[in-house]
Amino acid sequence: MKTILAARRGQTRAARRVRLAVLTLAAMLLCPVAAHAMSCTDVDAHAWYAGAVTEMTERGVMHPDAEGAFRPDDAATRLELIDALWRGLGGSVREADEVSFPDLPARNAAVDWAVAQGVVKGGEDGMLRGGDNVAREEFAAMIWRASGCPAPKRMLNYADAAKTSAYAADAAAWCREQGLFGGVGGNRFDPRGLVTRAQTAAVLSRYLALDGAEPPVLTGCVICLDPGHCVTPLSGKGYREPVSPLSDETKPVYTTGTQGKGMTEEKLNLTVGLKLRDALRALGADVVMTREVSNITIGGVERCEIANRLHADVAVRIHADGNNDRSVHGVSVMTPTGNLLGTPSIKDESVRLGQLMVDAVAAETGAKNRGILPRYDLTGFNFSEVPSVLIEMGFMTNAAEDALLETDAYQNKIVSGMVKSLLQWYGVAE
């Protein structure tokens, strides 16, 4: 396998490094019990990786050095990762699998296993390069190959997916769906970043715990929730923003929304948004909120940019409705049209989710199904680069519907319908 990192200069230096690594591993093989028993002197009990390090060292999958240090921040080498995977998955190999590399000074059972399983192979020059550090995408590929190269359910959806090498794209997507890699923040995978020993322990701990069990159904899915409106001192001060990047038309940035008897629309939107966040996270989704508090100054373009920057799979905008005719009631979902839309490619998937959502929420709540309403004039659609829908949960100007909207039970039904529609949209539920 061609390494992602730059080739080491000078075969002699590389061979010395590999020989040292092999001798270290050999020493550990000779006295594994003593190595396991050592406490890791440099691992804080409160560190995010402490539990994984303890588990991996107690199981003999990874080892501290001769001084008892685990070196959590050190970049892991290919030999270290091969050895850890081999040990974690049983540590056995057939005699016929023996292989050799010019830069591997002695037979190594873990390498024999890794080559036999297709986990690794030599570089273009025939060298193993066991002393080289390993990129995150290469580690993902090693784990994926050790698992038989299973097909991922979805394309890789990290914000930096385009930076992932072609050979590792399916591997990274599958690993994400299994919940193995946590990312580095901002929905980024950092495919070329080096794997640390702490990260190795954490990933292997999750991997070895899979045991054939399916991860939560939305693991690896990235959903942006946008509870409409906010409480800001700039409201009503005349601030405006463009309706579309393709138009000179503008609209007020900060609006208060409608009002029920005991709750503002802003508060209702946020309450339901937080409930939906928790429900989706319980199913494994990565959920980002445009706001989690009432008092915040945030406009429509900025809300779109949050989802765009993260390359979210979808943005769900949460609102309630109002009408001068107080008899009007029911749930509807707005979807973008092609007119004035900055990213026309999002239209079809937005409409598909919109129909699923209005049907599911109406069925759960018993509310009148007002269908999907195409809109060309919403900033939240026209600046979005990801599929987007806007649900109007009901009319706060209708006394009977408003009374329902303000109850936990009815809000929970709305959330249940929204979750069901997203599961259907992702193709993980009928």
- Cα end-to-end distance, the chain, whole Å: 41
Question: What is the rounded CA–CA span in Å between residue 24 and residue 88?
Answer: 19
Question: What is the rounded CA–CA span in Å between residue 123 and residue 374?
Answer: 54
What proportion of the chain, given as a percentage, has pLDDT over 70?
Answer: 88
pLDDT at 177 over 80: yes
Q: What is the predicted pLDDT for the residue at 23?
A: 37
Q: What is the predicted pLDDT for the residue at 103?
A: 87
Q: Chain-wide mean pLDDT for the chain?
A: 88
Give the model confidence (pLDDT) of 298-322 as tens digits: 999 999 999 999 999 999 999 999 9
Question: Closest Cα partner for 252 from 238, 234, 272, 262?
Answer: 238
> Is 159 part of any domain?
no
Question: Are 202 and 230 in the same domain?
Answer: no
Give the single-character DSSP code of 150: P
Query: What SS3 class is residue 413?
Result: helix
Give the model confidence (pLDDT) of 215-229 as tens digits: 899 998 999 999 999
Question: What is the rounded CA–CA span in Å between residue 415 and residue 249?
Answer: 34
Q: What is the predicted pLDDT for the residue at 215?
A: 85
Question: Are 237 and 348 in the same domain?
Answer: yes
Question: Are 129 and 226 in the same domain?
Answer: no
> Is 348 part of any domain?
yes
Tokens 């409608």 appear where?
258
> Is 180 part of any domain?
no
Phi, then psi, of 37 in degrees rounded to 5: -70, -20
Give the model confidence (pLDDT) of 136-170 as tens digits: 999 999 999 999 999 998 899 998 999 999 999 99
Question: Are 283 and 414 in the same domain?
Answer: yes
**Which one of 210, 239, 265 terminates a domain?**
210
Q: What is the predicted pLDDT for the residue at 211?
A: 75
Question: Are 387 and 242 in the same domain?
Answer: yes
Which residues constitute the domain of residue 287? Answer: 222-425
> Is 23 part of any domain?
yes
Q: Where are the beta strands (DSSP E) in 253-350?
A: 286-289, 314-321, 331-336
**Which one of 171, 186, 210 terminates a domain?**
210
> Is 149 part of any domain?
no
Check: CB of residue 103 under 8 Å from CB of residue 3. no
Check: CB of residue 209 under 8 Å from CB of residue 154. no
pLDDT at 397 over 50: yes
Give the model confidence (pLDDT) of 2-28 as tens digits: 232 233 233 333 333 333 343 333 334
Question: Are 43 and 78 in the same domain?
Answer: yes
Check: CB of residue 200 under 8 Å from CB of residue 84. yes
Give the model confidence (pLDDT) of 239-283 as tens digits: 999 999 999 999 999 998 999 999 999 999 999 999 999 999 999
Q: What is the predicted pLDDT for the residue at 15?
A: 38
What proportion of the chain, given as a percentage, has pLDDT over 90?
Answer: 72
Question: What is the rounded CA–CA span in Å between residue 298 and residue 318?
Answer: 15
Rg of the chain on CA atoms, in Å: 27
Give the model confidence (pLDDT) of 96-135 as tens digits: 457 778 888 888 889 988 988 889 876 677 888 889 999 9
Question: Are 198 and 240 in the same domain?
Answer: no
Question: Are 409 and 268 in the same domain?
Answer: yes
Element of type H or E holding 207: helix 197-210
> Is 387 part of any domain?
yes
> Is 430 part of any domain?
no
Question: What is the rounded CA–CA span in Å between residue 1 and residue 72?
Answer: 26
Question: What is the rounded CA–CA span in Å between residue 89 and residue 331?
Answer: 52
Q: What is the predicted pLDDT for the residue at 107?
A: 80
Question: What is the rounded CA–CA span in Å between residue 62 and residue 256?
Answer: 56
Sign of CA dihedral 287, 288, 290, 292: positive
pLDDT at 369 over 80: yes
Check: CB of residue 197 under 8 Å from CB of residue 76. yes
Question: Are 127 and 235 in the same domain?
Answer: no
Counting the structural domains of the chain, the total is 2
pLDDT at 32 over 80: no
pLDDT at 61 over 60: yes
- Rounded to 5 degrees, what angle do the CA atoms 368, 369, 374 make? 135
Question: What is the rounded CA–CA span in Å between residue 178 and residue 206?
Answer: 9
Q: How many CB atoms lie within 10 A of CB 70?
A: 25
Question: Which DSSP string do the residues of 18-30 spell out, in sequence order?
Answer: HHHHHHHHHHHHH
Give the pLDDT band of residue 92 (cuts 50, 70, 90): low
Check: CB of residue 136 under 8 Å from CB of residue 117. no
Question: Are 198 and 265 in the same domain?
Answer: no
> Where do the H-state alpha helices sit in 255-335?
265-282, 300-310
Q: What is the predicted pLDDT for the residue at 93?
A: 58
> What value does the mean pLDDT take over residues 326-336?
98
Tokens 């093989």 appear where?
29
Q: Counting Cβ atoms within 10 Å, is residue 293 exposed (0-12), middle (13-18) or buried (19+)?
A: exposed
Give the pLDDT band of residue 182 (cuts 50, 70, 90): confident
Question: What is the rounded CA–CA span in Å between residue 271 and residue 366?
Answer: 20
Distances (CA, A) of 98 to 27, 89, 94, 182, 222: 20, 18, 8, 35, 43
What are the tokens at 316?
A: 């769900």
Q: What is the predicted pLDDT for the residue at 171?
A: 96
- Rounded to 5 degrees, what angle do the CA atoms 186, 187, 193 make? 90
> What value does the mean pLDDT take over residues 365-374?
98
Q: What is the predicted pLDDT for the residue at 356?
A: 97
Question: Are 230 and 83 in the same domain?
Answer: no
Q: What is the predicted pLDDT for the residue at 26?
A: 39
Q: What is the predicted pLDDT for the residue at 173?
A: 94
> Is 261 part of any domain?
yes
Strand partners, 133: 77
One-letter amino acid identity for 212? G
Distances (CA, A) of 41 to 21, 69, 85, 346, 393: 21, 5, 24, 52, 55
Question: Are 237 and 109 in the same domain?
Answer: no
Question: What is the rounded CA–CA span in Å between residue 114 and residue 83?
Answer: 9
**Which one of 150, 180, 210 terminates a domain?**
210
Q: What is the predicted pLDDT for the residue at 97?
A: 59
Q: What is the CATH number of the domain that holds 227?
A: 3.40.630.40
291 Cβ contact partners less than 8 Å away, ≥ 6 residues apart: 226, 227, 230, 270, 298
> What value does the mean pLDDT take over residues 67-90?
93
Give the model confidence (pLDDT) of 379-394 as tens digits: 999 999 999 999 999 9
